Structure 1
Amino acid sequence: MDQIFAPWRIDWVERDGDESDADGAGECPFCSLPDSEDDRESRIVARSDHAFVLLNNYPYNPGHAMVIPYRHTGSWSDLTDAELLDHAKLKTRTLDALDDALSPDAANAGENLGGGPSGGSIDDHLHTHVVPRWGGDTNFMPVVSDTKVIVEALDDTYERLHEAFAAQSGATTGGETDAVSFEDDREYDDDGPA
C-alpha cells in the first residue's frame, strides 16, 4: 500500500456528516460554504458581488482554486450579464493573485461541463478551475506510482493567496477569518483595466 502523509486532510475526514437538505439528497457545497461564518475554515479566499474563490480541497497543484458564481446553476446561459462579467473579473483577479503569491510559469483554467463524462464531481453548480503550473511540476511519481505529490499545505497556500488578494486595488479585508472582498468598480476598456 502506498502512503502519503497529509495531516491537513483530517479536517475533511472529520467534517460534519449531516450536511443534507430536507429531502436527504445532500446540499451543494458551493451553495452552503459561502454561508459559513468562517471563510478561512471553508477555504474561501476572496468574494465579489456575484462569485467567490475557493481553494480546492484536492488540488492538482498548490494554489488550485475555483471561481464559483453564487447562483446554483449548471449552465452559463442562466447567468445574467452582471454575473458573467463579475465571474470573469474575479477569475482575472485570481490569476493575478496566483502570479503575485506563487509566481507560477503558467496556469490552466477550465470547466467540467455536462455531468459525469466531463469528469467533474459537482456538475450542477458551474465553476472555473484555475490551476497554477510550473515547468517540471510533474515528475515520475504520477507515471510510475499513480501518485501526485502536493508540496504545500492548504493553510499555507490560503495565507499566501489571501495576502495577494488583499494587496489588489479595490480590496477590503474584514476580520481574521474573512475572505478578501471586492466591489469591483474598475473601469474596463478594450485594453483591459483602465
Structure 2
Amino acid sequence: MDRMYSPWREIYMQSFKDEKTSMKDKKSVFSDIPPEEDEQRFVLHRASKCFIIMNLYPYNCGHLMVVPYHQSPEFSDLDAATMLEIMELTDLCIKALKITLKPQGFNFGANLGRVAGGSVDTHIHFHIVPRWEGDTNFMPVLADAKVLSNDLRSTYANLKTAIADLLSAKEQ
C-alpha cells in the first residue's frame, strides 16, 4: 500500500479538537434517566456503575447496550470497577438473550467516536447484538430497511424477567 504525506490536512484534523471539547459538556440521551421512566425508556436493569438498556434503533432484535452512569466519550475515563461491571452486565445480557431469543452468536463492542459509527459519541456505551445465521437478507441491500420480527415491548418484558431470574439464582 502506498502512503502519501499530506501535512496541509493537519489544520482540518485539529479543528475537531475544539468541537469534541464543546460536545463533551452536553448531556447525552443516556444521562439522568429517572428510574420511574425505566419501562418507558426500556431500561432493563440498574447496577451500581452501569445500566442495561434496549436499543430503540436496533441492528437486530434484542440489541442491548450497557451504559456507564458516568458520561464520557473516552474509554480511558472509566475506572476499574466500571470496566468490571461492564463485563459482568455484558455476561448477564448474553445469558438473558440466550434464554429469551436463543441467538446463535453475538457481536459485542463500542463505537468510539462519530467516525467509528457512534451516534451518541459523547457517552461511551457497549453494544450486545444477538445474531442468527441468515439474519442479513436482501432488505438492507435493496430497500435500505431492516426487518425486525420481535415487538420491543414483549421483548423488554421477556428480557426483564430473564434478568431478574438470573440475578435471583445468582444470589442463592
Shorter-chain TM range is 0.7 to 0.9
- Is the 1:66–1:127 contact (alpha carbons within 8 Å) kept by the matching residues of 2? yes
Q: What is aligned with 2:32?
A: 32
State the aligned residue count.
148
Asked if 1:103 corresponds to 2:102, the answer is: yes
TM-superposed CA distance for 1:36, in Å, is 4.2
- Runs of at least 4 residues of structure 1 off by over 3 A? none
Q: What is aligned with 1:53?
A: 52
TM-superposed CA distance for 1:136, in Å, is 1.1
Asked if 1:68 corresponds to 2:67, the answer is: yes
- Please give the per-residue CA displacement for 1:83-124, whole angstroms capped at 9, x wherever unaligned: 1111110111111111111100001011100x2211111111
Q: Which has the larger radius of gyration?
A: 2
- Is the 1:36–1:42 contact (alpha carbons within 8 Å) kept by the matching residues of 2? no
Q: What is aligned with 2:132?
A: 134
Identity of aligned residues (%): 41
Unaligned runs of 5+ in 2: 1-24
Q: CA RMSD of the aligned region, Å? A: 1.9
Unaligned runs of 5+ in 1: 1-24, 172-183, 187-194
- Please give the per-residue CA displacement for 1:1-55, whole angstroms capped at 9, x wherever unaligned: xxxxxxxxxxxxxxxxxxxxxxxx863111122x241311110011111100110
Q: What is aligned with 2:116?
A: 118
Q: 2:142 aligns with which of 135, 141, 144?
A: 144
Amino acid at match of 1:121: S
Change (3 A) 1:124 1:95: same
Higher helix share: 2
Tell me, what secondary structure is at the counterpart of 2:65?
A: strand
Q: What is aligned with 1:155?
A: 153
TM-superposed CA distance for 1:63, in Å, is 0.3
Q: What is aligned with 1:166?
A: 164
TM-score normalised by length of structure 2: 0.80
Tell me, what secondary structure is at the counterpart of 1:60?
A: coil
